[in-house]
Amino acid sequence: MNRKSAKFYIYFFLIFTLLFVTVSKEVQAAPSVSSQRAILMDQETGRILFEKDAHSQSRIASITKIMTAILAVESGKMDREVTVSSNAAGTEGSSLYLKAGEKIKLEDLVYGLMLRSGNDAAVAIAEFVGGSLDGFVYMMNEKANEIGMKNTHFANPHGLDDHEDHYSTAYDMAVLTRYSMNNDLYKEIAGTKVHTAPNPDEKWDRKWKNKNRLLTELYEYSTGGKTGYTKLAKRTLVSTASKDGEHLIAVTLNGPDDWNDHIGMFEYGFKQFDYKIVLEKGKIKKMDNEVYKNHAYLKRESVLTLTDDEVEEVKVEYKMLKPKQEWLKNQGVPEVVGKAVVYIGDKEVDSLPVFFQSSGEEKKEKSWWKFWAYSFESIIGVRDHG
């Protein structure tokens, strides 16, 4: 072998090694989960950070109770007393051991529902909030449609395997959790480790410890969630976690090692992704058109969940209405004069209306994002014609 050939083979070997290491790192970056179906979603932006068969319909067991809980919280009746029916008291499976005829606050029922997964609490809540089981199930499906759970159908308030048409997806359950976590009371309940409630037949209070071991012992960044299990659904789990201002949601369906699945997904999300402000609220500085300059502004920020590599792929394009001559005098200008479209590569990921302010400065408000998020703008042209 001559010297020229030797150099070629050495060069080829180095390139192959570099490519192999790069590919290996990319493969290792994604979490490995035992669960049949899984998803990791950013709570603030809704971006999917990881998924595994996340849109297939499955039985969901007791994570059903997230919907039951949020409907109870939103009912405005949390301080009302509920009389437990014999139907509720006799519900099979995990139980708070409620007795027919006893009175208990709806708020305590919701704590028992979420922490101890009481099926009797689920039925008592449903009968009280919905007027009947059927009425409450109707409310569950109406709420599911309202918030975009497109592949979900509820048939009961607890998740027991008593109906064939009771199902959801990992993605839909993340959507439900994201919606629910915007409610402060729900968030407080889901993140409670221990709750006590009066016990009418005993000298001591009831004391319920949360079944979510991520919250109580396994993961320091856990902020709440809901466990589930039935013979047909197997282990199901929804959990939330927060670290350094980043908030994530994980869902697993039929996950034999779900605690570690969730920890692995959370660690992946916290390590690989950060919030980036790609457009700031307020006046658009890079607007050269004579009509829009110093008048065009945004009412909200555009915040994305991005890897460091994706930052360079972000582009913002302004699609504006063609200005009319009278607009130069601030006459007859519509409130919305265009939109700012945000892309990652060629994929549109956000769109914000562009507003026109005739005179004066828009009120400047400090954003909590700015205390820790990285801000940047990458603008490719301001087009007069939308």
Judge whether 65 counts as a catalytic residue.
Answer: yes
What is the largest distance, in Å, between two alpha-carbon atoms of the chain? 95
Cα separation values, 184 from 147, 169, 180, 181, 191, Å: 18, 25, 9, 7, 11
* Tokens 């004391």 sit on residue: 207
Active site residue 62: yes
Among 117, 168, 239, 302, the active-site one is 117
Q: What whole-number distance in Å separates Cα of residue 37 and Cα of residue 254?
A: 7
Closest CA to 60 of 183, 187, 163, 178: 163
**Token representation of residue 106:** 């709806």
Encoded tokens for 350: 């956000």
Length of the chain: 386
Distance from C-alpha of 214 to C-alpha of 224, rounded to nearest angstrom? 8
Among the listed residues 35, 52, 58, 62, the single catalytic one is 62
Residue 52's DSSP bridge partners are: 38
And the tokens for 59?
């039985």
283 is catalytic: no
Range list of H helices, the chain: 3-29, 65-74, 86-89, 106-116, 119-130, 133-147, 170-180, 184-190, 213, 258-272, 308-311
Provide the token pair at 338.
């265009």
Catalytic pick from 35, 58, 65, 276?
65
Return all residues near 233 (Cβ < 8 A) that are at least 6 apart: 58, 59, 60, 61, 159, 161, 253, 254
Task: List active site positions.
Answer: 62, 65, 117
